[in-house]
Amino acid sequence: GIGIPTFASNYVRAEDDITFTSENGVVGYSRLAAAEEGDPDIVNAGGQQVTLVDGASFVHHADSFAVVRSGRLDVTVLGAYEVGADGSFANWRLSTEPFDHLGGIGGAMDLVARAKQVWLAMEHTTREGGPRLLDRCTLPLTGKECVTLIVTDLGVIAVRDGRFILEEHAPGHTFEEIAALTGGPIEASPTLRPVDVWGAVAAG
């Protein structure tokens, strides 16, 4: 997906057996490219220049979505405006403002319908400070009861049995603080621990 999910490829270690594929037809890319190494023809779904791994390939956009629709993707990572405690989420909307074209649902509906798991990478709250994790979504849905994992700026949250489970919290934030910014039922995992993103990157 575009937006925050495009940064996921920056946080994968070389030894991890993960193949990133982008809807526009890049199969086997890695981190975002630095200015001096970028190629304007090698971009992710958000139009950002990326680096390639050994064995990378390029396919037609139609073939890329044939792979999506075949059910061969293990995980899709998408952004979202809202996510409900039942695992439903919304990541599209139509603007009421003139000349503000936010577009439609796009390929997200194919991804959520056929990927084995749906993960979200998103901000925990709106610009006004309101919750994005809700009891029920208020916007038109992209996918129904399909999300299993959410990564926000405040933590890593599983979705199980109609509730959010905080598995990891951002350093400096407590469960109580995160719960107060969540608009749906949330519980602390028995193994709740701080996120250690930079430790994982350093290890790689």
Task: Tell me the per-residue pLDDT of 150-193, one tens digit each, with 9 for 90 and over.
Answer: 999 999 999 999 999 999 999 999 999 999 999 999 999 999 99
Task: Tell me the per-residue pLDDT of 28-87, one tens digit each, with 9 for 90 and over.
Answer: 999 999 989 999 999 998 899 999 999 999 999 999 999 999 999 999 999 999 999 999
pLDDT of residue 201: 42
Lowest mean pLDDT among 2-6, 11-15, 22-26: 11-15
Question: Does residue 92 sit in the same domain as residue 124?
Answer: yes
Question: Does residue 54 sit in the same domain as residue 81?
Answer: no
Question: Does residue 34 sit in the same domain as residue 78?
Answer: no
Token digits of residue 204: 């790689």
For 57, the 3-state DSSP assignment is: strand
Q: Residue 163 in contact with residue 185, Cβ under 8 Å? A: yes
Which domain-ending residue is among 45, 72, 99?
A: 72
Question: Does residue 96 sit in the same domain as residue 8?
Answer: no
Question: Does residue 135 sit in the same domain as residue 36?
Answer: no
Question: Does residue 165 sit in the same domain as residue 78?
Answer: yes
Q: Bridge-partner residues for 32, per DSSP?
A: 50
Task: Tell me the per-residue pLDDT of 101-144, one tens digit each, with 9 for 90 and over.
Answer: 556 777 888 999 999 999 999 999 999 999 999 999 999 999 99
CA dihedral 63, 66, 70, 71 (to 10 degrees): 80
Q: State the Rg of the chain over Cα.
A: 17
Domain holding 188, by residue range, is 74-204
Question: Does residue 19 sit in the same domain as residue 88?
Answer: no
Which residues are designated catalytic? 23
Helix H, strand E, coil C: the string for 100-155 is CCCCCCCCHHHHHHHCCEEEEECCCECCCCCECEECCCCCCCCECCCEEEEECCCE
CATH number of domain containing 121: 3.40.1080.10
Q: How many structural domains comprise the chain?
A: 2
d(CA 30, CA 51): 5
